[in-house]
Structure 1
Amino acid sequence: SFKGQTPYDVHGDGQTTRLKFLNTGPLPLVSVRVNGGDEVTFFIDTGGSEVALDTDFAKELGVPQ
């Protein structure tokens, strides 16, 4: 139960971004640019509750750890 808790608190500018799937099986793949960088491929784990990034890749993107 999430009573009294906010499971996800996402902050942003309210813009919507639509992504096209590159592939949908066995996992959905999307091509994205993070912070204006090179285009990279991400897979979406529809059953996952967290986001996992390679440590070096996260540092390269400037993602806080």
Structure 2
Amino acid sequence: MGKLGDMANKAKEMAKSHPDQADQGVERAEKLVDERTGDKYDAQTDKAADAARRYYGGGQQQDQQDQ
């Protein structure tokens, strides 16, 4: 696998090992995109953030707090 693939795999493992920190990064990225696009793609960024969180098992504490 190439360097990019290796880096992606390392990032995935780190996110699984530190889901709280990964959640913060996903949330920051989502907010940044929403701010820069004037919330034009809010539904899409929500879906992408949720998919990312499901991938590494994050967002569970956030979901519990929302209930």
TM-score (norm 2): 0.23
Q: Which has the larger radius of gyration?
A: 1
Higher relative contact order (Cα pairs below 8 Å, separated by 6+ residues): 2
Greater share of helix residues, 1 or 2? 2
Greater share of strand residues, 1 or 2? 1
